[in-house]
Amino acid sequence: MKQEIRICGFGGQGVITAAVILGKAAAVYDGLIACQVQSYGPEARGGAARAEVIIANEAIGYPGIHAADILVAMSQEAFNRYINDIRPGATIIIDPDMVINYEAAPYAHLVPSTRIAEELGNVVVANIVMLGAVTALTGVVSREAMLASTLASVPSKFKALNQQALEAGMTVVAGQLP
């Protein structure tokens, strides 16, 4: 088993944090092998941000991604840039409020993570909504591991909010096939 996951958007959306939480869920809580790398511009907000996680059950050599098995796109620019670097049958998850034109992947799963996060009271958990969707759709990590990793990665006063965001992401894709 080897799954390559790319999460992309712009700086400030928590793209890298999401990848770190996902990798930690796999490596620390599910006992799998995981490797996470990232690239981002010098800006604190805005600019392109991209993070990648490889999850496998044996040693990971080359730490880069050949073609994504799972692509999470949180901006139009990121979607356009990475939609061709996917494996056939890849799971694609987009925020339809951020990625308006997704003709290149009409079968993408639509997860309005930014809107859901706003409804929960804080836009910063949009990335966690996406992680809920990834977990429910792909099973790349267990729900228990994802929850444990999320709660271990956020300040204690935001634990409840993050748990709600994770569950909202799982619910919004409930019943959909990967």
Q: Which residues bind other proteins (CB under 8 A)?
A: 20, 23-24, 27-28, 33-40, 42, 59-64, 66
Is the CB of 33 or the CB of 123 nearer to other proteins?
33
Instruction: Report CA-CA distances (Å) from 166 to 18, 31, 33, 100, 148.
Output: 11, 21, 23, 23, 11
Compute the least distance from the CB of residue 103 to other proteins, in Å: 30
Residues 6+ apart with CB under 8 A from 154: 162
Tokens 């930014």 label which residue? Answer: 114
Report whether 130 contacts 169 (CB < 8 A).
Answer: yes
Compute the least distance from the CB of residue 30 to other proteins, in Å: 11
Report which of 153, 176, 154 is spatially closest to residue 29, judged by C-alpha positions: 153
Is the CB of 66 or the CB of 119 nearer to other proteins?
66
Report which of 127, 120, 151 is spatially closest to residue 14, judged by C-alpha positions: 127
Is the CB of 81 or the CB of 115 nearer to other proteins?
81
User: What is the enclosing helix (H) or strand (E) of 79?
Assistant: helix 76-82
Compute the least distance from the CB of residue 126 to other proteins, in Å: 21
Compute the least distance from the CB of residue 79 to other proteins, in Å: 22
Compute the least distance from the CB of residue 93 to other proteins, in Å: 22
Is the CB of 60 or the CB of 104 nearer to other proteins?
60
Is the CB of 40 or the CB of 158 nearer to other proteins?
40
User: What is the enclosing helix (H) or strand (E) of 87?
Assistant: strand 86-94
